[in-house]
């Protein structure tokens, strides 16, 4: 009998609970960072002294959120994107299956790209779907079959390029903003128009003037057209410079790492509870001192843009990797032990609806912070922002559990799958 590929989404029985739990955790955690771009000028995302007073609850909240979430959730979510490729592509049993599945994957990523463009331009400039789609088209599918050892090597190579590019940006910031004689000498020899263009490009994102800060807050509080005009430049920057010089290299590195950890049984829950316990302990033992050391370093230099770009940012760029592996190890240890079963079950439901919940976060935050909604941008401190995040977490957990008790997919997942397979997918559970 001729073998034919069953071209359909991953069924409930084929899902891996461990990956769904991790994805749900990462999806909720991402909002703890993203909320700042809705609520404050973008530069305040990295520099807590730019907008809110850096003391009391603002300082304490920054310490907690930066240590636990900044880059860790994006990295973990990227790794799980890679893990999803392994799960999704394992349906191919013959070369013919692989060819058919490849075209489905390309179609799947093209539609994700479309969703990302719509999300980035019409809802929120911090969109990650666009970048994930391009990584999926350019790297992940073609390298997924590498043996785990080579996946680790290539992932490391991508990460090394990411650090080199960050170092180059640090040099640019030093050249443009440093008061040192060496930097002044370089500026004196460079064309004035090039220096002016560099300052204009970097200043609003790294060291905005008080006037720029107020103008950005006013834009966030404007009507939809005002917010769109403000968003357009940032979105274009994110989709071109941000992607080419930052997001692509880090996200692709983490995706390949996720594929390797899935192939070695780490993300599929095949390792022992003791293994996951050691993974968490080692990850935190390396990651926490690096990240806390980075906060102390940046505080000692007043979060100065030159010191931050030259050295301060690298503590978290590097420390986030063992830290997110520590998060993964702890969660998988909890799952393996059977602890907090109701909570991990709810996280799995959030993970199954990650696409819908990601878009829902942007819509809710837009309604809360932008001027065409409640207009609360610039009015809520860091602790207040995170309390709003907790409220959205509760809404998304309850919504995900209730929705998936009746339906097979979230609304966005259903649309994405229907477009990928070019066939309306059954929505209601039998």
DSSP annotation of 42: G
Token pair in block for residue 399: 């919504």
Please calculate the CA angle 402-397-410 and round it to the nearest 5 degrees.
55
Q: pLDDT in tens for each of the 430 residues of the chain?
A: 333 444 444 444 445 789 999 999 999 999 999 999 999 999 999 999 988 899 999 999 999 999 999 999 999 999 999 999 998 887 666 778 778 888 999 999 999 999 999 999 999 999 999 999 999 999 999 999 999 999 999 999 999 999 999 999 999 889 888 888 888 888 888 888 878 877 777 777 777 888 889 999 999 999 999 999 988 989 999 999 999 999 999 999 999 999 999 999 999 999 999 999 999 999 999 999 999 999 999 999 999 889 999 999 999 999 999 999 999 999 999 999 999 999 999 999 999 999 999 999 999 999 999 999 999 999 999 999 999 999 999 999 999 999 999 999 999 999 999 999 999 999 998 7
* Residues near 5 by beta carbon (within 8 Å), at least 6 away in sequence: 91, 92, 93, 96, 97, 100, 101
377, 370 contact by CB (below 8 A): yes
Residue position matching structure tokens 């599945």: 101
Q: What pLDDT, on the 0 to 100 scale, is given for residue 70?
A: 96
Please calculate the CA angle 144-145-148 and round it to the nearest 5 degrees.
85
Written in H, E and C, the secondary structure of 274-317 is: HHHHHHHHHHHHHHHHHHHHHHHHHHHCCCCHHHHHHHHHHHHH
Q: What pLDDT, on the 0 to 100 scale, is given for residue 302?
A: 92
35, 365 contact by CB (below 8 A): yes
CA atoms of 233 and 13, how far apart (whole Å)? 44
The Cα-based distances of 221 to 120, 210, 383, 413 in angstroms read 18, 17, 20, 31
Task: Please list the residues that pair with 407 across neighbouring strands.
Answer: 428
Token pair in block for residue 331: 């969660």
| Number of Cβ atoms within 10 Å of the Cβ of 136 | 25
Tell me the domain boundaries of the chain: 12-421
Helix axes 341-352, 382-404, angle to 10 degrees: 80
CA atoms of 361 and 128, how far apart (whole Å)? 13
DSSP annotation of 180: S
CA atoms of 318 and 175, how far apart (whole Å)? 24
Q: What pLDDT, on the 0 to 100 scale, is given for residue 15?
A: 54
Q: What pLDDT, on the 0 to 100 scale, is given for residue 10?
A: 46
For residue 365, which of 346, 385, 381 has the smallest C-alpha distance?
A: 385
115, 420 contact by CB (below 8 A): no
For residue 306, which of 190, 414, 179 has the smallest C-alpha distance?
A: 179
| Number of Cβ atoms within 10 Å of the Cβ of 6 | 9
Token pair in block for residue 407: 């339906």
Task: Please list the residues that pair with 428 across neighbouring strands.
Answer: 407
Token pair in block for residue 322: 């063992």
Q: What pLDDT, on the 0 to 100 scale, is given for residue 314?
A: 97
Q: Is the dihedral of CA 115, 118, 120, 124 positive or negative?
A: negative
CA atoms of 370 and 374, how far apart (whole Å)? 7
CA atoms of 106 and 140, how far apart (whole Å)? 11
Written in H, E and C, the secondary structure of 195-264 is: HHHHHHHHHHHHCCCHHHHHHHHHHHCCCHHHHHHHHHHHHHHHHHHHHHHHHHHHHHHHHHHHHHHHHC
Q: What pLDDT, on the 0 to 100 scale, is given for residue 74?
A: 95
């Amino acid at each position: 009998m001729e073998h034919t590929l069953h071209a359909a989404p991953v069924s409930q029985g084929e899902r891996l609970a461990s990956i769904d739990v991790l994805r749900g955790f990462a999806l909720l955690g991402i909002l703890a960072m993203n909320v700042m771009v809705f609520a404050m000028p973008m530069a305040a995302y990295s520099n807590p002294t730019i907008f809110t007073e850096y003391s009391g609850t603002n300082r304490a909240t920054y310490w907690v959120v930066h240590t636990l979430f900044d880059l860790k959730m994006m990295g973990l979510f990227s790794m799980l994107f890679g893990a999803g490729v392994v799960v999704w592509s394992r349906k191919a049993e013959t070369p013919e299956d692989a060819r058919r599945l490849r075209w489905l994957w390309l179609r799947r990523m093209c539609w994700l790209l479309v969703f990302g463009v719509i999300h980035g331009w019409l809802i929120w400039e911090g969109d990650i779907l666009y970048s994930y789609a391009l990584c999926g088209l350019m790297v992940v599918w073609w390298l997924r079959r590498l043996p785990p050892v080579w996946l680790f090597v290539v992932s490391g190579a991508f990460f090394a390029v990411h650090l080199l590019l960050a170092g180059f940006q640090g040099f640019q910031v030093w050249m443009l903003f440093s008061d040192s004689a060496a930097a002044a000498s370089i500026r004196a020899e460079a064309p004035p128009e090039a220096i002016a263009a560099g300052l204009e490009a970097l200043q609003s994102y790294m060291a905005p003037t008080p006037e720029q800060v107020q103008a950005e807050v006013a834009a966030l509080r404007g009507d939809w057209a005002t917010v769109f005009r403000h968003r357009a430049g940032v979105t274009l920057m994110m989709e071109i410079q941000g992607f080419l010089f930052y997001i692509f290299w880090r996200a692709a590195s983490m995706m390949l790492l996720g594929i390797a950890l899935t192939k070695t049984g780490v993300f599929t829950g095949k390792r022992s509870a003791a293994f996951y316990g050691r993974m968490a302990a080692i990850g935190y033992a390396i990651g926490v001192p690096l990240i806390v050391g980075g906060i102390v370093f940046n505080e000692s230099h007043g979060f100065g843009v030159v010191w931050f770009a030259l050295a301060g940012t690298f503590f978290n760029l590097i420390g986030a990797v063992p830290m997110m592996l520590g998060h993964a190890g702890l969660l998988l240890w909890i799952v393996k032990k059977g602890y907090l079963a109701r909570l991990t079950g709810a996280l799995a439901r959030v993970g199954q609806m990650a696409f819908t919940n990601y878009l829902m976060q942007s819509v809710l935050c837009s309604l809360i912070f932008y001027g065409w909604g409640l207009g609360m941008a610039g009015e809520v401190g860091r602790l207040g922002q995170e309390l709003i995040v907790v409220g959205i977490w509760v809404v998304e957990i309850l919504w995900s559990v209730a929705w998936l008790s009746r339906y097979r997919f979230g609304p966005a997942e259903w649309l994405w799958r229907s477009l990928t397979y070019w066939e309306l997918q059954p929505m209601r559970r039998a």
